[in-house]
Amino acid sequence: MSSWPWLRAGSRGTRPVCRNDSSAWRVMLADPIHADAEAWLQARCTIVRPAPGGPAAFGHALATCDGVIVRTSVVTGAAISASTRLRVIAKHGSGTDNIDVATATRMGVCVASCPGENAAAVAEFTVACLFLLRRPVIEGNRWLRSSQPEGSLVVAAQRAGLTGHEIASSTVGVVGWGEIGRRVGLAVKALGGSIVACDPRIAASRIAADGVRVAHELHELLAVSDVVTVHVPLTPDTRNLIGAAEIARMRAGASLINTARGGIVDETALAEALRTGHLHAAAVDVFATEPPDVAGPLMSLPNVICTPHMAGLTDEAVRRMGISSAEAVIDVLSGRSPQHPVNAYVSYPNGSAEHDLET
Ligand SMILES: NC(=O)c1ccc[n+]([C@@H]2O[C@H](COP(=O)([O-])OP(=O)(O)OC[C@H]3O[C@@H](n4cnc5c(N)ncnc54)[C@H](O)[C@@H]3O)[C@@H](O)[C@H]2O)c1
């Protein structure tokens, strides 16, 4: 590619190539970012915040901006189409399912993300969930405060059902051997556990080189895992990837972790399997609708750890993602490629397309 495509013509005509006066750049922070990143950005452009008032107000504010940084706010195709000034959408994170990338591509707007910046945070959180599902730490805490055991505390705890399982004796199925899944798998391996991984988009030999067993089919992984942990993006292919049929294939008494995206696991089917006892427990950080309804299928079950989409929330990760997404915006507005373009886009007025990583 000879020059950066998002500085070229989109289907709607030529977008303004870099304004040299950076103080004229207007960048919307659709969601808050780390104070260090905001200060860095503030020194390079005018920061705009969305006015309260829902999608219409968001759309109006976006139309006045050259760039936008989004965490979980939804950027619809309609908002992108109406924002003739917009040149870059930077995702503060890795999953871009809240951005209409196809429309951005068509309109000549660069979408950038910061993959890997929160991978350690999400992987560590997932491993924490894994421990909590294999060892009843939460239950033990609750039990001790609500009972007055007599005699041997260890024996009483055992009688109360507080015996767990070792990670070292467990088989963990990792669905998606990307930045996060691989880190989780290697952490489990370091603890002596067995890993079986499934990722049809990565060569089996590459996964095997990490010293883990490769499942060529998801069903193969489901059948042998004590805990299944999901680390795929939400795409049309992965929506309901783990539905009733897949859950039925899981081992009786197995557990499931979803720190990826709601919509990948069918919440109603999961709740049913937890209620009937087919599955032992689950940890769910992400929901099909966020925030989830407190009366939703999973929230009332005692054997589910429900957390508020917090797996990536460490100060370190939030700072890295803030800086990385701010840099991506300034890179594009300055005429440079962002480090991680999602849509390496070229759609010339004659309709030819050179390259398209994701639409
Ligand atoms: N809970 C949180 O706070 C949080 C934070 C960050 C990311 N996430 C989620 O975690 C997901 C994974 O992040 P990542 O950084 O590891 O992404 P990644 O792109 O590095 O890895 C995703 C992997 O999934 C694989 N994959 C795609 N479809 C698959 C399928 N049908 N079966 C098996 N594998 C498949 C891909 O080949 C890729 O290797 C993100 O897309 C995001 O949705 C959640």
Residues 285-330 have pLDDT tens digits of: 999 999 999 999 999 999 999 999 999 999 999 999 999 999 999 9
Is the pLDDT at 334 greater than 80, yes or no? yes
Q: Is residue 272 part of a domain?
A: yes
Strand pairing partners for 29? 69
Contact 223, 216 (CB under 8 A): no
Q: Is residue 76 part of a domain?
A: yes
Please tell me whether residues 333 and 201 are part of one structural domain: no
Task: Determine the pLDDT at residue 12.
Answer: 42
Give the angle 21-23-28 at the CA atoms, nearest 5°: 125
CATH number at residue 319: 3.40.50.720
Indicate if ligand 1 lies below 6 Å from the C-beta of 115.
yes
Indicate if ligand 1 lies below 6 Å from the C-beta of 200.
yes
Please tell me whether residues 271 and 126 are part of one structural domain: yes
Task: Determine the pLDDT at residue 15.
Answer: 52
108: left (phi over 0), alpha (psi -120 to 50) or beta: left
Strand pairing partners for 90? 69, 112
Is the pLDDT at 348 greater than 90, yes or no? no
**Domain span at 61:** 22-117+315-351
261 assigned to active site: yes
Q: Is residue 10 part of a domain?
A: no
Please tell me whether residues 201 and 178 are part of one structural domain: yes
Strand pairing partners for 255? 227, 281
pLDDT band at 249 (very low <50, low <70, confident <90, very high): very high
Please tell me whether residues 111 and 132 are part of one structural domain: no
Q: Is residue 1 part of a domain?
A: no
Please tell me whether residues 108 and 199 are part of one structural domain: no
Please tell me whether residues 273 and 157 are part of one structural domain: yes
309 assigned to active site: yes
Indicate if ligand 1 lies below 6 Å from the C-beta of 285.
yes
The atom number, within ligand 1, closest to the CA of 259 reads: 1
Q: Is residue 113 part of a domain?
A: yes
Task: Determine the pLDDT at residue 237.
Answer: 97
For the chain, the domain total comes to 2
Which of 159, 206, 275, 290 is flagged as catalytic? 290
Q: Is residue 3 part of a domain?
A: no
Which of 182, 231, 309, 320 is flagged as catalytic? 309
Q: What average pLDDT does the segment 274-285 reach?
A: 98
Contact 8, 49 (CB under 8 A): no
Task: Determine the pLDDT at residue 52.
Answer: 84
Please tell me whether residues 60 and 79 are part of one structural domain: yes
CA of 49 from ligand 1 middle (Å) equals 29
Is the pLDDT at 220 greater than 60, yes or no? yes
Q: Is residue 59 part of a domain?
A: yes
**Predicted model pTM:** 0.89
Pocket residue to mutate for ligand 1, from 216, 232, 234, 257, most atoms within 8 A of Cβ: 232
Please report how the helices 315-333 and 119-134 are oriented relative to each other, as an axis angle in degrees rounded to 10.
Answer: 150
Q: Which residue's CA is minimally distant from atom 30 of ligand 1?
A: 199
Please tell me whether residues 342 and 264 are part of one structural domain: no
Please tell me whether residues 163 and 297 are part of one structural domain: yes
Indicate if ligand 1 lies below 6 Å from the C-beta of 94.
yes
Question: 9-10 and 13-14: which strand pairing?
Answer: antiparallel
Indicate if ligand 1 lies below 6 Å from the C-beta of 243.
no
Please tell me whether residues 322 and 294 are part of one structural domain: no
Indicate if ligand 1 lies below 6 Å from the C-beta of 288.
no
Residues 85-111 have pLDDT tens digits of: 999 999 999 889 999 999 999 999 999
Q: Which residue's CA is minimally distant from atom 9 of ligand 1?
A: 260
Would you give the distance in Å from CA 318 to the centre of its chain? 13
Q: Is residue 17 part of a domain?
A: no
Residues 175-207 have pLDDT tens digits of: 999 999 999 999 999 999 999 999 999 999 999
Please tell me whether residues 205 and 239 are part of one structural domain: yes
Cα radius of gyration rounded to whole Å, the chain:
23
Contact 62, 29 (CB under 8 A): no
Please tell me whether residues 101 and 139 are part of one structural domain: no
165 assigned to active site: no
